[in-house]
A and B are shown apart, each in its own frame.
Chain A
Amino acid sequence: MPRCTPNRTHTLRARAHAAWIAAATCVALLAGAAWAQAPAPLRIVTTTAMVADTLREVGGACADVVHLMGPGIDPHLYRASAGDVDRLGRAELIVHNGFGLEGQLGAVLDRLGSRVPTLALAEAAAEAAAAGDGVSLLVGEAAYAGRADPHLWLDGELWSYAAPAAADAIAELRPDCADGVRARAATYAERLRALDAWATASVAGVPEGRRTLVTSHDAFRYFGRAYGLAVHGVEGISTESEASIADIRATADLVLDTGVPAIFVESTISPRTIEAVLAAARDRGGEVAIGGSLYGDAMGEAGTPEGTLIGMLRHNVVTIVTALGGEVAPWPEALADWAAAWTRP
């Protein structure tokens, strides 16, 4: 505050002047502080909807998430349109799955990676998981030999490491959101772990000797490892090559050998290959049916429970366990509010 001067009239005017400046500065500081309290949401563009769901849960109001691949879209085959490239280019953060899941987007992501901050979420999750619990990646076979299987999101425990990784990425670009997102990430990770435990318990309800999961392609290896199912896909890890006669025969042989009562189609793949396996197995006297459709490479419709990661995994577990002759475990308490949110009329 300026000191009073000896001159009386000059002092009065100067004092008013000073007071006015002080008030203006206070207002400015307060406004600035208020403005800083509500930052613009981070513009995030993701490839798959599973990654988008994770980012939304973690980011909350801090993130505005858009995804490129909707329900029923096969991420192995998806090609970027000009509009997609534009959208990716204008994002503040690009998050993709990584490990080559988005087989046709490699070049685009590489090019944009030098301009836009990019996060390979599954890769980050895997790294964290390896460091934390020593959980290892599954390696592919045949055409995918030597490369990691990218379908990490189907293992709830493993994917729970993705939440803090996502939080870190958001926090780096929106430091003011750091505390908020980290807290949300912790909650989300907890939910995923609860889901994971429930899935393990549910699968345990399937009679021994029936715990085989036959699907259209090898998307469920992490799922099988986590919850105690032997898995077999008619096609390999990627859908890029067509199923051969040998693939179908081998699958039919497996179905008859294990005596599994149900095999499953996927929402992103033509059911023909599974139907062909069915016909082959039935011709040889096998009693097997299609147990239902699973969400492997994509989630369900937005606005339905299956349109979230938790809902997707829940649907898969319920479908598989029921079709194989088991009963699901009671829904965990930690996810009660999630269930309630989705049963509201």
Chain B
Amino acid sequence: MTVVGGVHEPALALHVEDLTASYAHQAVLWDVDLNVPPGVLAAIVGPNGAGKSTLLRCIIGAVRPNAGHVYVHGRPYREQRRRVAYVPQRTSVDWDFPTTALDVVTMGLYGRLGWFRRPRRTEADEALEALAMVGMDAFASRQIAELSGGQQQRVFLARALVQDADLYLMDEPFAGVDATTERAIVDLLKDLRARGKTVVAVHHDLQTVATYFDWLALLNVRVIAQGPVAEVYTAENLRAAYGPRVVLLGATEGAAPVAASVATAGATDRGTEEARTPVA
């Protein structure tokens, strides 16, 4: 590892090394290395409880890892906060909070405002613009409790967009949204990529990984494999990540499966042997 003038791995949009985290003496992440090049739409997939959300939360500093470092575009994460936008899981928030869609998006600008300054007209305008980007400008003064799942997800995305970041970290952005919203989000991601931004998203649906993303990391406490989707999305890797009970439809050994689905819950539970043992 070479650190020159505080710069480390400047060619990578996101560089994670040796990341290790545990919860109640159980390893959730172990020796995780992630090297995401800039300008890709990267997906992180793996069984439930494999540490995917924890990985993102470690990166942004919500969880203290036991070991490891995170660099964004060559510098430590904490120096680059302004260039990173985080979209948490939609279900991690109580949507009965008394606030409007515009208000939520404005919160994305709090980092820029700093202490003691109030959001003003400029901030409100930018927030409205971000809402328009996700097609939600008509809902600006709507109570967030009245929004549907897809609309809520779009508000969350707008909150990230308003930060005008270079790296976007998203936790299951497609979970529980309707088909229209899903298409809208895909278009949005592709637009971000076209503008040179990088997106790293925890994705829940194996079926759509190959179509939506161009870079993939398979995670099950350890990183099983990472790289361009075509290279990584193989039956062998999937089995290594999800355990032997993966059902591959229309696939042959060694070739990329057309679609894959994971069989019973046994293979995905955190409590099973397969999931817990770090796979070599």
In the complex, are there CB atoms of A and B closer than 8 Å? no
